[in-house]
Chain A
Amino acid sequence: MYDFTYAKPASLAAATAALATEDAKAMAGGMTLIPVLKQRLNKPSVVVDLSGLGLTGITVTGDSVTIGAMTTHAAVAASAEVKRAIPALAALAGIIGDKEVRHRGTIGGSLANNDPAADYPAAALALGATITTSKRAIHADDYFQGMFTTALEADEIITSVSFPVPAKAAYEKFKNPASRYAMVGVFVAKGPAGTRVAITGAGQGGVFRHAGFEAALAANWSAAALTGVPTSDADLNSDIHASAEYRAHLCNVVARRAVAAAG
């Protein structure tokens, strides 16, 4: 780890100001940033710890679930209200990383980092979430812009994420055998935002929607409807654990299992 200045601002304005410093880095739960710092893969001038901003808590209304950006995965997983409104979201939060990660990692941190194998991006994209920041509200369709890339500006801070409550939804994850990140994670949803399928872990550009699966499920919401619906392996990752062809195959298997789980 290289030396850096540590700041823990108490207000959004102060945090925004701190992030204006060149090479400043925001830290939510630190579950990605700290390992990266330890490996000397990043050399921030200042680490801006967002944990003094509040930004925690879960609000459930009749048609949406809004989660503060600094809410931990464990809190979402344990929330009776989330379990009731969007059980798939609580279940997803409950299988992120391991127990230690779930008690430190946050939804805002996960979405801001947009790791191509992270779980939350699949939920946000499939449910048509709105990401509210210190500056504006961004729809998930406009938010994810490729691997580790989002619509966020350098000094922009996520404050909360709002998910429309779907009629049906489920998340299924095929884990990388070594890292246990999603090798293929599929979130399926049917609700106010339409029938949407988002896939994480598989794509070279990070999370993506699967038009073929969505069309098939819009016509017939059943696992059987996905049989034979192809996934192009052109833009899928290929590594020692899974070729693009195998990942393409898994997209279908995992999507079918997700639909079956969603009921």
Chain B
Amino acid sequence: MNAVFEGIGASPRRKEDLRFISGRGNYTDDMNRPGQTYAIIKRSDRPHAKIIAIDTAAARAAPGVVAVYTSTDLAAIGGLPCGWQIHSKDGSPMAEPKHPILAEGKVRHVGDPIAVVIAETKQQARDAAELLHIDLEDLPSIATVTDAMKPGAPEVHDGIAGNQCYDWHLGDADAVAAAFKSAHKVVTLDLENNRLIPNAMEPRVALGDYDRFSGDYTLYTTSQNPHVIRLLMGAFVLGLPEHRLRVVAPDVGGGFGSKIYHYAEEAIVTWAAGKLARPVKWTADRSESFMSDAHGRDHVSTAQMAVDADGKFLAMKVHTVANMGAYLSTFAPAVPTYLYATLLAGTYTTPVIYVEVKAVFTNTVPVDAYRGAGRPEASFLVERLVDTVALELGMDRVDIRRRNFIPRDAFPYQTPVALQYDSGDYFATLDAAMKSADWAGFPARKAEAKARGKLRGIGISTYLEACGIAPSKLVGQLGARAGLYEVANVRVHPTGSISVFTGTHSHGQGHETTFAQLVADQLGVPLSQVDIVHGDTGKIPFGMGTYGSRSLAVGGSAMVKAMDKIIAKGKKIAAHLLEASANDIEFKNGVFSVAGTDRSKTLGEIALTAYVPHNYPIEEIEPGLDETAFYDPANFTFPGGCHICEVEIDPETGVTTIINFNAVDDVGRVVNPMIVEGQVQGGVAQGIGQALLENAAYDASGQLLSGSFMDYTMPRADDLSNITVGTENTMCTHNPLGSKGCGEVGAIGSPPAVIGAVCDALGIRHMNMPATPQKVWAIINGRPAA
């Protein structure tokens, strides 16, 4: 047997790529149902206004129009639910204003849906939507958290004082106060984390279908988690039981978090399909995506670190205000709390930490998790603060990190902000990254650049994140309204080919390859014999979906558990056929054999026996070879590592060029090194985007200024440098694979390294993102920051 190795650690080409790169993917907008109609959503162009009247008569009378709906037509169905409840310091639950499917009485952000027009063609729906007469009366409005908290600020939701959603805290305030009093020095840094617009390559699409004979609804949608949509929309919005509602998320072209949430358009098309007994399709255009996909980040913070004279961290205090936008998106409240504040220990032994987080409403698009979700905000704050401490103490940035790292032998390590890290070696990733980046050679490169009139800088980030979300019991205690286990169903067919049904969802990650490698490795079958099925509640038992770098650590672990059951059952069948005790049966490379003998049966033979049980221990076990596992993780996983970025700035123009980027991450067990490299590079590209290019710009009233690619700077290939990716892995100790996750590390670890490099080049303490040419030029020339 000289078969090509395709198991854990191999880098076979991605099984899914042939259909993607040849244009044969099956995306939601590629799907069409007989008799299909088209929906156009009429959205607010005002940040805040009272709806005086909506006259739909002309639109209804327009050619081809099937229906026009406003909020009054939706009185019988619920608003969009929020999946996480946070309690304030004083024990009170967060303010949770209704998030209507279509605006009720007021519009609260540019892009807020007001009405839907459904017609025989998209063109007719668009024409009719222009005939809607919507009488709006402008109200005072706010876009920033600072303005939202000012006394007398306009209220986004009537009666929610100070626009405050919650005022939450974590940690030991008294211990921090005491440590601050006796510290050698307290270093303070004010910083912002800029708002981003995800911009997945495929805009959102929703197609609702209804079978009037069975009463079954089907929603085809661009989702990262079809079962979650079925639960949220079925139970909380439309009142449909699970067996009457099927949600299909076929090929999806990128999500980055923005396709986790249950959106109004999904509910509209599903409800309208039932009402009209015809399929209804809605496809976002790019401009709609800018103003209706959940945005990311948008924090304003003050961070303080108390240190001793040797640079040892004694205590940390953080105050953050997070922008929720106009309504609470599905998981929004959790992002600046449990996905952010719990990460503030970073890779360091800071013994006491206290963090206060206020979340406020503004007249902007709702903000929710975006690649990294809370953890990029935490790593940016921690790593920028560490650099600032080093600067103010006159210490080396690397030395101060080494001095404060959690030691190798301190794991499991309990932080003062609730998490317990299971494994890690921050010295190993630091050393490897410094070597890869030739840190020692930087002064010579800086001098050479200076001779050319350029400013060189180098930045470092020794970040940590928590992913593989999440233990259900723990998140339940923290306010989650769902469990976060994962489900796998492994079906060995009679001839030995295998279908694996997973509750995770692949929208670019390469699951069809990585998961197949797990099966090839554990069951000893060729990759070509394995098919991974995802994205359909009609096929998959259940699942919580893909986000939080959880698919391999949680979903893959569920597969391992299901395969364990397959092997255990196979041993019993083999024992029967080989006339041996099940305890004496070994399974290796796809073959069951009696230990110490040459008597054996292949997995294929066992499968055939299981489905054709003529000679079978039918008294002991059932026919068939089909097992399901629900896996609930014991803990989060804790990837971390070191990112080093080198930049060169043209002082005449303020343009920053990335010279090189080196990432060495600890992602636990790697199944497919090529896919890990791609995931990290993609994440780093997004992190560089946040650090240098991207910014969701609003004017003070809440008009979106960067509402298209003409003004929103998406990273392009020529904005990036070569990105060198390495790993120095320690194993996760609590899941069967040892894998930690790699989907978000790039976006989490990179922004502080980039900004650190820019600040190093400019010789300044800090600047907020993005470091655009105009801002850098203004700093160089002593202009007030733009």
Contacts and interface: CB of A to CB of B under 8 A. Distances in A.
Which has the most chain B C-beta neighbours within 10 Å: A2, A241, A243, A253? Answer: A241
Given A177-B713, A243-B774, A253 B697 contact: no
B706 A177 contact: no
A179 B710 contact: yes
A175 to B, nearest CB: 10
Which has the most chain A C-beta neighbours within 10 Å: B706, B710, B774? Answer: B774
Nearest to B706: A240
Contacts of B123: 1
A253 B786 CA distance: 20
A242 to B, nearest CB: 5
Nearest to A174: B653
Contact of A178 (B709, B778, B783): B709
B482 interface: no
Given A177-B713, A179-B709, A246 B652 contact: no
Contact of B711 (A174, A240, A243, A245): A240
Nearest to B773: A177
A92 to B, nearest CB: 19
A40 B693 CA distance: 29
A245 B784 CA distance: 12
Contact of A253 (B653, B705, B706, B774): B653
A240 B709 contact: no
Contacts of B778: 246
A245 to B, nearest CB: 8
Contact of A177 (B287, B772, B786): B772
A104 interface: no
B652 A253 contact: yes
B587 interface: no
B562 to A, nearest CB: 47
Contacts of A246: 774, 777-778
Contacts of A249: 777
A157 interface: no
A250 interface: yes
A240 B693 CA distance: 12
Contacts of B611: none
Nearest to A256: B652
Interface string A197-222: 00000000000000000000000000
B236 interface: no
Nearest to B772: A177
B712 interface: yes
B653 A243 contact: no
Interface in B643-668: 652-653
Contact of B712 (A178, A242, A243): A178
A38 to B, nearest CB: 9
Contacts of A179: 709-711
Contact of B786 (A174, A243, A250): A243
Give the size range of A's interface with the partner: 10 to 19
B708 to A, nearest CB: 9
Given A240-B697, A243-B774, A250-B653, A178 B705 contact: no
B698 to A, nearest CB: 10
B709 to A, nearest CB: 6
A2 B652 CA distance: 46
B657 to A, nearest CB: 12
Nearest to A1: B123
A2 B126 CA distance: 9
Interface string A230-263: 0000000001111101100110010000000000
Contacts of B652: 253
Contacts of A242: 773-774
A249 B655 CA distance: 13
A253 B652 CA distance: 7
A242 B130 CA distance: 34
Nearest to B719: A177
Nearest to A242: B774
A178 B777 contact: no
B710 A178 contact: yes
Nearest to B695: A240
A154 B709 CA distance: 31
Contacts of A174: 653
Interface in A154-173: none
Contacts of B713: 177-178
Contacts of B786: 243
Contacts of B772: 177, 241
Interface in B248-304: 287
Interface in B119-178: 123, 126-127, 130
B81 to A, nearest CB: 34
Given A174-B653, A250-B653, A253-B652, A241 B774 contact: yes
A177 to B, nearest CB: 5
Which has the most chain B C-beta neighbours within 10 Å: A39, A240, A241, A243? Answer: A240
Contacts of B693: 177-178
B62 to A, nearest CB: 14
A2 B129 CA distance: 13
A240 B705 contact: yes
Interface string B739-763: 0000000000000000000000000
A1 B123 CA distance: 8
A9 B772 CA distance: 47
Contacts of A240: 695, 697, 705-706, 711
A231 to B, nearest CB: 14
Nearest to B287: A39
A262 to B, nearest CB: 18
Contacts of B705: 240
A249 B781 CA distance: 11
Contacts of A178: 693, 706, 709-714
17 contacts: A1-B123, A2-B127, A39-B287, A177-B713, A177-B773, A178-B693, A178-B710, A178-B713, A178-B714, A179-B710, A239-B711, A240-B697, A241-B772, A243-B774, A249-B777, A253-B652, A253-B653
Given A241-B711, A242-B774, A243-B774, 13 more contacts: A2-B127, A39-B287, A40-B126, A40-B130, A177-B693, A177-B773, A178-B710, A178-B713, A178-B714, A179-B709, A240-B697, A242-B773, A253-B653
Q: Which A-B residue pairs are the 3 nearest by beta carbons?
A: A178-B713, A179-B710, A177-B713
